Structure 1
């Protein structure tokens, strides 16, 4: 049986190091493509592309899309000014991933946003973000864990099949005002929005945590099933 092709957005960095090389690179932690593969999909990496229409062209060739975690979304994208603890902007990646999300929504391509990807989904639909909150990450480069509680009756609740689960987490921003057409589908114990989705037949889901850093396949399996 043909595996569905799942595109995953990537970082774009000025310099990465491997072997004796130090070069500009498009890169992505291996947990993302491995999670897609373990869930029954075939992974394709999607580095930023500035060619007009590239996002629509990419989406037309895919069976599903993952918008990956990464740097803070530039606050001007949701009508705000940067706060003191907001990270430096990544304008090329912001533009590319927003275009991918908009193209996927238009085409009703199965879509999963992870961490930053969930925040960008909210921004693409006209929502806003909290630029800083505490307690959802570990020391620099170290993931923390906390419980999330899905909202009964949502797609996410059906995927997780229980009242709560412990997830790997590393973020300091989160959804504030929810975007048009989206509903909250999970919370952390402190009330932070941990899941977003668009009701309807199309699979459109965002999770604030990092499933690629754990062994729970249920969310990604949901995307792959929808893409099959």
Structure 2
């Protein structure tokens, strides 16, 4: 899900950096709203004093708790996202600009949401587009609401419970007989050369062992036998 064809047309260090950015964007898109809800509701002591005072001043006139505030913004973003897909392309960009700028600024001025929540939702929305596979983005959108509800109820403990259940479920899956989380679980060191890091082509001479292919050689030697 985090690999893209253009990774193999770049140098190994460039491809590795891009993949690390994708992983970081994935966790930002998944956890940013729930982290904000947990910190602002249960774990205020984790913030620096100046930042805590700034957030408290922004939320002074907001009538909703952090969970309702985040839920309203996320639902508004999802509506705008679906509308932008189905309306004609000539007006789709205009609707996106209106939704992100006008509605967001109007909501802050009206005191419905805080400016910090608009920033969190904006970063989450941008990060969700970094993941190359649309199927993973949809899963992130669903899990994001579950994490928000658990963060509002139990704080960081709720987030940890959802993540543990999700990872346990993924580790129990198999796709065409191959463990879904391979080569991370079970851990296969030889297959790690094309996961988070992409090693140079000279070191990618074998196929992944988890696939069980009888032909483990990916690149043959240029020397031909006579």
TM-score by length of 2: 0.22
TM-score by length of 1: 0.22
Bigger helix share: 2
Indicate the structure whose relative CO is greater, using CA pairs within 8 Å and at least 6 residues apart. 2
Bigger strand share: 1
The structure number with the bigger radius of gyration is: 2
